[in-house]
Amino acid sequence: MSALDSLDDRQREAASVLRGPVAVLAGAGTGKTRVITHRIAHGVDTGAYTPSRVLAVTFTAKAAGELRGRLRELGVRGVSARTFHAAALAQLNFFWPTVAGDTAPKIIDNKVRMLGQAADAMRLRPSTATLRDIASEIEWRKVSMLSIEQYAEQGRPVSGIRPEQLLELQASYEALKDERRQLDFEDVLLACAGMLEAEPRVATAVHEQYRHFTVDEFQDVSPLQNRLLELWLGDRNDICVVGDASQTIYSFAGAQQRYLLEFERNHPGATVVRLEKNYRSHAPILTAANALMRGRAGALDLAPAGDESNAEPPTVTAYDSERGEADGIADTIVRRIAAGTSPAEIAVLYRAHAQSAVLQQALAARGVATTVLGGTRFFDMPEARQAVLALRGAAVAPSDVGFLPTVRDVLRGLGLTEEPPQAGGAQRDGWEARRAILRLAEEAPDGTTLREFADDLMARAKDQHEPTLHTVTLSTLHAAKGLEWPHVLIAGWTEGALPISYATTFEQIDEERRLAYVGITRAARTLAVSWSRSSGRGERAPSRFLAEIGTTARGTGILRDVAPTSRPAARRA
């Protein structure tokens, strides 16, 4: 069976071109990861690629782990699938002793702490929040490839510190870092790029090692990452980039969608394939998403892969207060769970972390357990680590007891009960973690041994391939990117929250629009958006994006207005 057999026509077109520059413009839910992995597998199967000479780069360790896992499922091993930073760090550590005659500098683990030490030396006392903002500015400056002098010309103020102090503190931070012979995260990319530019023998070795490149989420590359990619390529052109300009939501961190939008211009003769068949969301959800991005640069026109005649239209609900909105969202979730929906199929999204507390409280009051994305990773939880170690230990000792009973016995010994504790708190979190591991065991293929299962858990931990918890997910819109749920509720569609208050320029508002688009396209079957008329500090206006995607006020019928029970029912589109 060919790696191309399970792809649709457009996906197959993208995966079939194995040489030269290729740009895959992949809309939300159109199978971009599938295309990436099947393209690499097709290259290996046909002999066009040697696995060890393929480098696939992405932006998070979790995404890189998913690429490795998908390639393993396709029978492909030996491909290097890494983040930009991991690939650069590996090259830096390998070549530094040869180039510099010494071991590579250590990587600092806390930029804010070192900034605080540099500030102390200057007798400055900025707040921790100000130091975090300065750390972000340093990151932006470096990925934008600007010197401190060039950065000064940008005129980017930071609250809590004068402009001249900001520049002096950055210089002091760099001097302290050099004195201690350390690098920060961004220095890794800068040093690797500098080494490739200055040392022909290093560039030759890297060019010999890697011949074929794949870049995921190409709309998120920064000038520094793009420069490093150019150096990795050299004078070759076997590169495939995949991205969606409508999902550029990290411009504040240096991402520039122009590299994706201008790829064909910068790579004459490039093959460009548009993936617009969406396999995730029902048609009414895609209608709203398309309306929000209509006319924007690089926007794709998403179409549903199937015909869902009874698909529910998205809804918009107005509440009197934030507390009322949280209660309304929680009541909606309780009704959906009572009707048979698993909590794991539901997510509540919002613009800022501060919005999560009231939602957690409302759900906990109704006995609904939640998991907040961006919190402790699953395999970093004490209960998960304890379970993995205990199962590895049990796998060493010979036993006549079957695989699944042994797993159950081990987890019961660690505190897993038939019924969960009351919702909320660390005890419930621990129960959910142990229950998730048991579900993995129950879903394991027939014939799996305890040793194989324990090894699989270790591989999952390394790749950050986390099991699904039977909890409702709470997440910021940024953290939700790349994920999906059957049922999505998005809170806080007000001016000042979405778009956020500090987004004032056209470019900033456009980024907020793209963030709303990312939220909408996380939903597969149902989408509910809501807003509150009051924050307790004054009246609020509905987000301008509601008008752009259509409400009953516009008469487009894309969204259905639903009033909360405390108010008269709104008319329907």
Query: Residue 567's pLDDT is what?
Result: 40
Query: Residue 396's pLDDT is what?
Result: 83
pLDDT, averaged across the chain: 89
Query: Residue 538's pLDDT is what?
Result: 75
pLDDT tens profile 46-66: 999 999 999 999 998 889 999
pLDDT tens profile 144-180: 999 999 999 998 888 889 999 999 999 999 999 999 9
Q: How many other C-beta atoms lie within 10 A of the C-beta of residue 95? A: 19
555 has binding-site annotation? no
32 has binding-site annotation? yes
pLDDT tens profile 242-253: 999 999 999 988
pLDDT tens profile 458-479: 887 876 677 777 899 999 999 9
245 has binding-site annotation? no
| pLDDT band of 82, cuts 50, 70, 90 | very high
- Supply the angle between the helices 322-338 and 356-365 in degrees, to the nearest 10: 50
Query: Residue 56's pLDDT is what?
Result: 96
Strands 212-215 and 239-243, how do they pair?
Answer: parallel
332 has binding-site annotation? no
Where helices occur in 529-569 by DSSP H, the ranges are: 544-549
Structure tokens at 348: 């509540």
Over residues 200-216, the mean pLDDT reads: 95
Query: Residue 562's pLDDT is what?
Result: 57
Vertex 331: Cα angle to 327 and 336 (nearest 5) = 150
3 state DSSP class of 423: coil
Residue tagged 């990925």 (tokens): 143
98 has binding-site annotation? no
Vertex 346: Cα angle to 342 and 347 (nearest 5) = 155
Cβ-in-10-Å burial (0-12, 13-18, 19+) of 278 comes to buried
Over residues 16-31, the mean pLDDT reads: 95
**According to the 3-state scheme, what is the secondary structure of 173-204?**
HHHHHHHCCEECHHHHHHHHHHHHHHCHHHHH
Query: Residue 426's pLDDT is what?
Result: 63
- Cα(107)–Cα(181) distance, integer angstroms: 9
Over residues 19-32, the mean pLDDT reads: 95
26 has binding-site annotation? yes
Ramachandran angles phi, psi of 275, nearest 5°: -105, 110
pLDDT tens profile 329-364: 999 999 999 999 999 999 999 998 878 888 988 998
Beta carbons of 353 and 476 less than 8 angstroms apart = yes
28 has binding-site annotation? yes
Return the beta strands (E) in 209-321 as ranges: 212-215, 239-243, 271-275, 277-278, 303-304, 315-319
46 has binding-site annotation? no
pLDDT tens profile 356-412: 888 988 998 898 988 888 766 678 788 888 898 899 888 887 777 788 899 999 999
Q: For residue 271, which amino acid is it?
A: T
Query: Residue 7's pLDDT is what?
Result: 94
Q: How many other C-beta atoms lie within 10 A of the C-beta of residue 74? A: 15
Q: What percent of the chain has pLDDT over 70?
A: 93
Residue 421 has pLDDT above 80, yes or no: no
